[in-house]
A and B are shown apart, each in its own frame.
Chain A
Amino acid sequence: MARGIEVAVTGMGVVSANGTSLAEFHAAQLGQVSGIGPLTRYKCGEDPVRIAGEVALPVEVMLDRRDQVRTDRCTHLAAAAAQLAVGDAGLVADPDTEGWLADPERTGVSIGSAIGGSESLENNYHAFVTSGPRALRSRAIPMSMTNDAAAWLAIRYGVTGPCIAVSTACASGADAIVAGHQMIAAGEADVVLAGGAEAPVVRSIVSGFAKMGALSMRNDEPGRASRPFSKDRDGFVIAEGAAVLVLESAEHSRTRGARTYAYLRGYGRSSDAHHVTMPHPRGLGAFQALRRALCSADAGPADVSMVNAHGTGTTLNDAAEAFAIRDALGAHADRVPITATKSLIGHSLGAAGAIEAVATVQALHNGAIPPTANLDDLDPEIDLDLVVGEARHLPVTLALSNSFAFGGHNVVLAFGAA
């Protein structure tokens, strides 16, 4: 185990395009329920991309209106996921008083986001350009800043341990979980709310990704648009969402009698040091992160039961990732089921690594690996055992979750059975 300390996952919360509770999310993965639909969060007219994975937040996890108007949707999503996670972990004693069952001074927060409050940034920038400085909202800065979700969670729960925001593009959520592990391993915290949140369904953001050619243009078949590892993949589908995991030192969780879903046994990270958006063509950085994750978890390729791939559905990512997995697992890759959560919920950038961590822990905990949707025609260049059609039910003892990002940030989380 990484750095000689056991870190348990004792609670999880997720709000994604195809589920806003753990049960709904897991069932949707197993049943291949797509969360991708026509984009509704702004009027997209004849824009080239008119589909997205949007979250329908249930009223019971929405902030009250007072807090909604003070924060960006990114924070709304993070708050919802955190509320579900702390409830799931049994950390809130009383829903009315929100009494905290852990020592607040020993509780940390680590939330990843690639771009933070992008809708607030866009709105304020528009007001500034059209009407001048006085038109800016007084909360223009805090609503836009990438660390608002993390700060807001600390304020809401009154926890005064380390509180950080991690921004490594599409690896942010996974990197934030690593940071949470490190807080516990370093002795700074016993409990950490770790995860990611993103609300990028904003016209300037979607248009920017479209301009790069990163997004699928399958506007007429939203549910079929996200096609990781498919021969005819044409880009990712942008999505919003959030997930928070309650990480806890195993000693602390045992003392308070908490249920443990899994252990975060290790992680591996690397930088491509290659290009700001293109992965290394052979997935060298991803390979290094995979190998480092195995080393960190004190495991070898034969110990790996499954991989939750980054699997965006872009031509370059999926090809490079397939090389990396093959190179890291060697011949054993023939027997390791691979799944790609993004096939059903799209790519929620800085939230993706955290949402997929939840999906991975659920697969591990329940012994059920969800299929990759829309994979009728596997790219012949992808030499991996992709789970297709039905979920695969088998014991999972070590599960890897990949996150690779613009900027060349590579993060692999290694979860082990409880």
Chain B
Amino acid sequence: MDTEDVARQVSEFLTEELGVPEHEISPVADLRADLGLDSLDLVELITVMEDRIGTRLDQDELKVIRTVNDVAEVLVRILQDPSRAVV
């Protein structure tokens, strides 16, 4: 999976499970400021994406996430890192 694929999955989740209108979503959309996600929504998004990828994000990785693309890039980096154990 590349960043685009993961970003698409993130976008689908935002629309289908969190009810974010599709037209508001873009790769650079800020999850909180532009899409109105709160801390509970972020937990939901990250938990589901972690389970799909089969990994867990650490605190430093969570801190840098602001946009749809940030989520995708972090997840893809993990996927491409053979040292990250798949849980």
Q: Which residues of A contact B (CB under 8 A)?
A: 64-70, 134, 137-139, 142
Contacts and interface: CB of A to CB of B under 8 A. Distances in A.
Nearest to B35: A66
A65 B43 CA distance: 19
A65 B19 contact: yes
B57 interface: no
Contacts of A137: 44
B54 to A, nearest CB: 12
A70 B17 CA distance: 10
Nearest to B43: A138
A90 B69 CA distance: 45
Contacts, number: 25
The 4 closest A-B pairs by CB, nearest first: A65-B19, A66-B19, A138-B43, A69-B19
A322 B18 CA distance: 49
Contacts of B19: 64-70
Contacts of A68: 19
Given A66-B36, A139-B40, A134 B17 contact: no
Contacts of B51: 134
B18 A138 contact: no
Contacts of A66: 18-21, 36
B73 interface: no
Nearest to B17: A69
B40 A69 contact: no
A142 B43 CA distance: 14
Interface string B1-31: 0000000000000000111110000000000
Nearest to B40: A138
B64 to A, nearest CB: 20
A158 to B, nearest CB: 17
23 contacts: A64-B19, A65-B19, A65-B21, A66-B18, A66-B19, A66-B20, A66-B21, A66-B36, A68-B19, A69-B18, A69-B19, A70-B19, A134-B47, A134-B51, A137-B44, A138-B40, A138-B41, A138-B43, A138-B44, A138-B47, A139-B40, A139-B44, A142-B40
Nearest to B36: A66
A111 to B, nearest CB: 22
Given A66-B19, A69-B18, A138-B40, 6 more contacts: A65-B21, A67-B19, A69-B17, A139-B40, A139-B44, A142-B40
B12 to A, nearest CB: 14
